[in-house]
């Protein structure tokens, strides 16, 4: 699995969200730092957790591994 810039991603790694992701439960905002929880879902690419502990299902193209 790779992010939008081609960097390798792994479970447990922190990544930055590069665009706003709306859902019925709220908004995952751009520049939020999330942790990869699991991968390989039929409708989305991975499951991540935000700093509050909410679970989000997003695509690999929605994150970047470079957030420094």
CATH number at residue 20: 2.30.30
Structural domain that includes position 33: 14-64
Q: Exposed, middle or buried by CB within 10 Å (0-12, 13-18, 19+), for 56?
A: buried
Structurally, how many domains does the chain consist of?
1
Contacts (Cβ under 8 Å, ≥6 apart) of 48? 15, 34, 35, 36, 37, 55, 56, 58, 63
> Is 8 part of any domain?
no
Q: Is the pTM of this model over 0.75?
A: yes
Asked if residue 5 belongs to a domain, the reply is no
Residues 6 or more apart whose CB falls under 8 angstroms from that of 59 comprise: 44, 45, 46
Q: So what's the pLDDT on residue 53?
A: 93
Assigned domain for 33 exists: yes
Q: Give the model's confidence band at 68: pLDDT under 50 very low, under 70 low, under 90 confident, else very high.
A: low
């Amino acid at each position: 699995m790779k992010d939008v810039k081609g960097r390798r991603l792994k479970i447990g790694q922190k990544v930055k969200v590069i665009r706003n992701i709306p859902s019925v439960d709220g908004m995952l905002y751009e520049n939020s730092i999330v942790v990869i929880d699991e991968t390989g879902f039929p409708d989305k690419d991975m499951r991540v957790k935000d700093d509050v502990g909410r679970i989000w299902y997003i695509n690999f193209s929605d994150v970047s591994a470079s957030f420094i």
